Amino acid sequence: MTEQVQLSTVGSTVNKSIETSCSPTSSLTNRIFAPLNTPWHRRCQTLSVLVWLLMPWFCLYLTICFLRADCWCLTGCFLLYLGWMFLFRKYPKEGGHRQQWLRRLVWWKWFADYFPIRLHKTCDLSPDRSYVFGYHPHGIFCLGAFGNFATEATGFENLFPGINLRFLVLNSNFQIPFYELFLTTMGICDASKESCNYILKQGKGNSIMLVIGGSKESLDARPSSEYFLTLKNRKGFVKIALANGASLVPVFSFGENDLYEQIANPRGSKLRSLQMILQQKMGYALPLFHGRGVFQYKFGLVPNRHPIDTYVGEPIEVPKLAPEQITPQILNEYHTKYLNGLTHLFNTHKAKHDNANASLVFVDDPNVR
């Protein structure tokens, strides 16, 4: 009897030691690899983000398939589409052909819930005016800007009724067959001066969203208590607002820079110099970044799950002026008002997101003279 008790005690001790020794390994595995029992709604969220990031590459693959198709009729039709796209197409500069049913799909709700993305309204915006919204910071892929303002996943149309907003991106995005059709159907348009003026001249409520820092700002997109914004000498958006009498609205997203890790590239370093040269040549910045993968958490294209809280600030009233009336003094005056409005918006809400000691640093764009 005594022997049985001793054996039982020893057995339980061994089992406990085995459980204890296995527990850290199991915990480490769960931290590195995605658990097999991940709920389906979270898998759908990851899929929606991954599909959006890979969509331009998939459209390029489709282009190659059509060009190499054995059916001459299929290839011929595709070549006609390419000819029309490059020679006659105008809608990326003329407001696109936005379809609200597409923007309201549950797919985009999954996209927003992945992070999650939340849109915060700080004041009402009158539908009797037009607006130039400025989004900050750029981040790596502007995922917060897309989720909030290119879809209805966070309820922009309910928060700001009567505001007919177009999210504007680089023209190079519209050089990819099929992808350009999808973008304009989502209400995404070209960020050129011509496009901005066309939309703002359509009447009350018609507004644009610009990511003012551009791709250069992505080179500073990393988790940090300092937000470097390429905004100090960028004033073209103010000039567009003055020419159309559109109010300026600063928008800031806490969490946009926390989605990816980026290799250190301080200003003046060889890596940063090379990145700036490539950006000037290609129009795209090439930050060396990584997020997580689909089946593991250490490396990949998928962004890390981190909340993105986007605040829409108070509008800055802007008069409508003829081009000859927009002097450097007036331009600087409203540019300064915008910087002050953005700083106030940032300082008002930063403590809510563990950024109490964070600060904005406005830097120059070396290509702007």
Share of the chain above pLDDT 70, in %: 90
Query: What is the predicted pLDDT for the residue at 34?
Result: 65
Mean pLDDT of 142-146: 98
Residues in the chain: 369
Confidence category of residue 175, pLDDT binned at 50, 70, 90: very high
Residue 155, Ramachandran bin (φ over 0: left; ψ between -120 and 50: alpha; else beta)? left
Confidence category of residue 2, pLDDT binned at 50, 70, 90: very low
Q: Is 80 exceeded by the pLDDT of residue 29?
A: no
Query: What is the predicted pLDDT for the residue at 368?
Result: 79
Q: Picking from 133-142, 260-269, 278-287, 327-336, which range would have the lowest pLDDT averaged per residue?
A: 278-287
Mean pLDDT of 184-199: 97
pLDDT digits (tens, 9 = 90+) for 255-283: 999 999 999 999 999 999 999 998 888 87
Confidence category of residue 19, pLDDT binned at 50, 70, 90: very low
Q: Is 50 exceeded by the pLDDT of residue 1?
A: no
Bigger pLDDT: 149 vs 279? 149
Confidence category of residue 170, pLDDT binned at 50, 70, 90: very high
Mean pLDDT of 89-114: 96
Q: Is 90 exceeded by the pLDDT of residue 12?
A: no
Q: Picking from 18-27, 38-47, 122-131, 354-363, which range would have the lowest pLDDT averaged per residue?
A: 18-27
Cα(188)–Cα(163) distance, rounded to whole angstroms? Answer: 15
The model carries a pTM of: 0.89
Bigger pLDDT: 18 vs 288? 288
Mean pLDDT of 139-150: 98
Of residues 119, 135, 170, 153, the one with CA closest to residue 49:
153
Q: Is 50 exceeded by the pLDDT of residue 22?
A: no
Cα(117)–Cα(166) distance, rounded to whole angstroms? Answer: 19
Q: Is 90 exceeded by the pLDDT of residue 181?
A: yes
Q: Where are the alpha helices (DSSP H) in the chain?
A: 2-32, 40-67, 72-87, 100-103, 106-114, 143-149, 156-159, 179-185, 193-200, 236-244, 270-282, 328-349
280 φ/ψ angles, rounded to the nearest 5 degrees? -65, -35
The domain segmentation of the chain, as residue ranges, is 40-363
Mean pLDDT of 179-184: 96
Confidence category of residue 16, pLDDT binned at 50, 70, 90: very low
Q: Tell the burial category of 3 from Cβ atoms under 10 Å away from its Cβ (0-12, 13-18, 19+).
A: exposed
Confidence category of residue 32, pLDDT binned at 50, 70, 90: low
Fold assignment, 40-363: Glycerol-3-phosphate (1)-acyltransferase (3.40.1130)
Cα(56)–Cα(180) distance, rounded to whole angstroms? Answer: 9
Q: Is 80 exceeded by the pLDDT of residue 23?
A: no
Give residue 224's identity as a one-letter amino acid code: S
Mean pLDDT of 341-368: 93
